[in-house]
A = this chain, B = another copy of it.
């Protein structure tokens, strides 16, 4: 908004690499216990001083919100795109299951879903982060519901249930699968569970 990214700053040039810090923090929260991971530890791992981190993100809540927003952009939005494709319900469902039971979307990303992890540890999050997670929840449910509605219109959704409930059901199963993966369960088993749980849908 106000600052030109090229070079018309006055003071000492900043060396803090925001993206690097976010990468480190995202992986840390993704792999570890969100509630037990301290800011000090993030500083240590990213090689950034504590005041530097506070200037960039205000506080722990700010960092975590930035992390979940980044996760949304990098991981969740592609899934949402997938749900809007013109493929059949079954094809999209298979893609969804494959995505949910494999690593996030990058080279060496941890098992499970950071968003699911944050949902589960709601009570340990700051205000801003919790609000963002809540927003993502609503987006996910809406995306599932619209997908089901479109599939119903195409006659590809067989189960006798409201789109609202179907969305809740799909969300619950995907979250559960992500949770199991994060706990270290065998991805093949988790995938099989999802297949059975979705077998009556279409």
A33, B124: Cα distance in complex, Å? 8
Question: Is there contact, CB below 8 Å, between B193 and A172?
Answer: yes
With A35-B33, A200-B196, A200-B200 as contacts: A172 and B176 at CB distance below 8 Å: yes
How many subunits of this chain does the assembly comprise? 2
Contact of A122 among B32, B183, B200 (CB under 8 A): B183
Give min CB distance, A10 to chain B, whole Å.
Answer: 43
Question: Is there contact, CB below 8 Å, between A172 and B180?
Answer: yes
Question: Is there contact, CB below 8 Å, between A192 and B172?
Answer: no
A168 at the interface (CB under 8 A from B): yes
A121, B123: Cα distance in complex, Å? 14
A36, B33: Cα distance in complex, Å? 11
Interface centre among A36, A189, A193 (most CB of B within 10 A): A193
* Number of A interface residues in the complex (CB < 8 A): 29
Chain A, range 114-153, C-beta contacts under 8 Å to B: 119-124
A33, B35: Cα distance in complex, Å? 9
A57 at the interface (CB under 8 A from B): no
Nearest to A194 among chain B residues (CB) is B172
A179 at the interface (CB under 8 A from B): yes
A173, B176: Cα distance in complex, Å? 8
Residues of B with C-beta under 8 A to A123: 32-33, 36
